Amino acid sequence: MSLLEPKPGGLPEEPLIDLELKNEAGVFRIKEAEDGKITIEIENAEGKKFVLNDLLPKDWRILSYITPRGSGELRVDYLLKEVIISEAEVLREGWRNMLSILHEIGHAIIYESGSAQKNLYLRKAQLLEEIIVFPNDPKLVKEVETIMSKIEKDAWAWAIREFKKILQELNIDQRIIFESNDKLREYVNIFLTDYKGWGIKDIKNMQISEQEREELLEYISKLYTTKDEK
């Protein structure tokens, strides 16, 4: 499906992932087992823990992959039922990467939530192939924008809700991770403008329109700032 190769866990040149990112909130911990499975855990300053893996749909797992060039990416493989994290992104983003991982888990949960949602994701995959052949077809571009806007809105909304719920459960101030609502918007906006054609960087139309992106950012901002969001 891609050029990604499994990370050779346990080899000297590629040691198993074992990260502990500490701050005043506690520890953001990512550990890779010998079989390649990754456990992601949030532990607060008092020692209370929350394991993100517990949110995964049945039979799904978290792994880390690298390309032959040594780079990784955060993504979801719906066929293999894998949420694939990037060690490089975790190191670069720190605790903020927790929200990105929740976003990918959200995609997995929504995909598995029913036939209608699964068909929407399958249609998105089909559109990726069609838009390569007809990159300037206005009807095709519009359908792409509509489907991707729906998919991304649902996944980011799920991620924001779970992010807040987890932090509340662990009594962690969300401002430790995102100092302000503006910082959150900036972070999410990077992802909404950097899909790179969903794997094909030359296809510019496989994205959300600017208007829909702004509407999505506003929606996410309201979710983030609303107290006790259910």
Q: pTM for the whole thing?
A: 0.86
Distance CA 104, CA 107 (A): 5
Closest CA to 160 of 152, 150, 170: 152
Task: Give Cα separations from 62 to 73, 82, 157, 167, 194 (angstroms).
Answer: 13, 6, 21, 21, 23
pLDDT confidence of residue 34: 92
Render each residue's pLDDT in the chain as its tens digit; 230 residues.
223 444 444 444 568 999 999 999 999 999 999 999 999 999 999 999 999 999 999 999 999 875 444 445 678 999 999 999 989 899 999 999 999 999 999 999 999 999 999 999 999 889 888 888 888 888 988 888 889 889 999 999 999 999 999 999 999 999 999 999 999 999 999 888 765 444 444 455 556 778 888 888 999 899 898 875 44
Every domain of the chain and the residues it spans: 5-225
pLDDT confidence of residue 213: 85
pLDDT confidence of residue 208: 73
pLDDT confidence of residue 175: 94
pLDDT confidence of residue 65: 72
